[in-house]
Amino acid sequence: MDHLTDAKPIRHLLAGAVLSALGAALLASLVILWGAAFISVLNGLAGGWDLLLLYLAAVSVLPIVLSWFVHEIGVLQRLRFRRLLGVDIPEPSWTLRGTGRQLAYHLWALAVAVPATALIVAPPVARRFALRDSRVAEDLLGPDDVESLHARVESLRSSRRDVLLATDQERRRIERDLHDGAQQRLMSLALNLGMAREAITEPSPAREAIVAAHEEAMLALTELRQFVRGLHPAVLDDRGLDAAISGIAARSPIPVEVSVDIGRRCPGPIEAVAYFIVAEALTNVARHASATRASIDVRRHGGRLAVTVSDDGRGGAATRPGGGLAGLAQRAAAVDGELRLTSPAGGPTVLRVVLPCG
């Protein structure tokens, strides 16, 4: 507040005195009306049934009206701080605690209204008084620590959702560019080398070079296809999680039983997380579990998607820091999901992931 001129704190204090006086008169009137209605209710039927019902309605409704006016006066007070001091105070939530804190500030503002008006002849004191007033207002008119923490958590969740969505969109773009660009050109090269290989039938150094180049091109094309499929499979967008997971199972070196029952589709980022968790889990099974068969079960329970991957391997798997299973846990946690692993020595191993699917 060092940037304020002497006039701004004085205008702020004078406006606060007027607003506090008007607010106090209004709130006092409501309290008096409520007290009168409450006393009338205690007197019973002295005024007749019609008046008794009116008093009961007043006793019930006036606290709500009082709470509303407390919040509305708080809105005017926050506007005063923003316009005259440049202090932006966030609005608290409409709770009993928030109403009580704002009422406490109104009582503070009323208590300092009279001395504040006397400070017009002492601008330096007015500046210090306005600074103190702004600190009290930030404590009482704004959100408390719990509300601020909740708002911060929600902001972080929103930012994380935005990052995940942007990452998923970027992955789709890279997949599309590779599929339509480099993969098509590499396929054209492989076809041309294949035609040249068929055209040259006589053994020669040139034919051997073409054969070697053709085989390398086909190998590179296969690896590129696997890489593109790992980025974001097109079948996941086109046909959903059931078809995408069935494709993973079909490529597995061991038999995999698949059961998918999710009804309507989940959001794209959630389906992508579920797909990559299943793909990585099956890769781990094929490489490390010494299993003869595996199963995948994907089901939706209300707003949650449950993904279970199990195998009959040797067990002993664990989520070690830096390991593949720890990476799966981090991927699930990135969307507020949870991963549980059961893998006793000798098997079986059961990996269960629960993801939000609202």
* Three-class secondary structure assignment of 322-357: CCHHHHHHHHHHCCCCEEEEECCCCCCEEEEEEEEC
pLDDT at 6: 58
Ranges of H-type helices in 112-204: 113-117, 123-140, 145-180, 182-199
Q: What single DSSP character describes residue 314?
A: -
Tell me: do 249 and 340 sit in the same domain: yes
Q: What is the pLDDT of residues 201-244, one digit of tens each?
A: 778 888 788 888 888 888 887 777 767 666 667 777 778 888 88
Q: Is 2 domain-assigned?
A: no
- Ramachandran bin of 240, using left for φ above 0, alpha for ψ from -120 to 50, beta for the remaining angles: left
Q: Is 112 domain-assigned?
A: yes
Q: What is the pLDDT of residues 315-347, one digit of tens each?
A: 888 877 777 788 888 888 888 888 898 888 887
pTM of the model: 0.53
Residues 171, 230: Cα–Cα separation, whole Å: 10
What is the tally of structural domains in the chain?
A: 3
Tell me: do 138 and 154 sit in the same domain: no
Cα–Cα distances (Å) from 201 to 33, 205, 207, 209, in that order, read 107, 12, 8, 13
Residue given tokens 């846990």 in the structure block: 329
3-state secondary structure at position 296: strand
Q: What is the pLDDT of residues 109-151, one digit of tens each?
A: 887 776 766 666 566 677 777 777 888 888 888 887 777 777 7
- φ, ψ for residue 347 (rounded to 5)? 80, 180
Last residue of a domain, one of 143, 162, 183: 143
3-state secondary structure at position 257: strand
Q: Is 1 domain-assigned?
A: no
For residues 278 and 248, the answer to whether their CB atoms sit within 8 Å is yes
Tell me: do 55 and 156 sit in the same domain: no
**Highest-confidence range of 8-17, 153-162, 340-349, by mean pLDDT?**
340-349
Tell me: do 279 and 336 sit in the same domain: yes
Tell me: do 240 and 226 sit in the same domain: no
Q: Quickly list DSSP for 191-250.
A: HHHHHHHHH--S--HHHHHHHHHHHHHHHHHHHHHHHHHHH--HHHHHH-HHHHHHHHHH
Tell me: do 202 and 221 sit in the same domain: yes
Kindly state the tokens that stand for 190. 């492989």
End-to-end Cα separation, the chain, in angstroms: 46
Boundaries of domain holding 206: 150-231
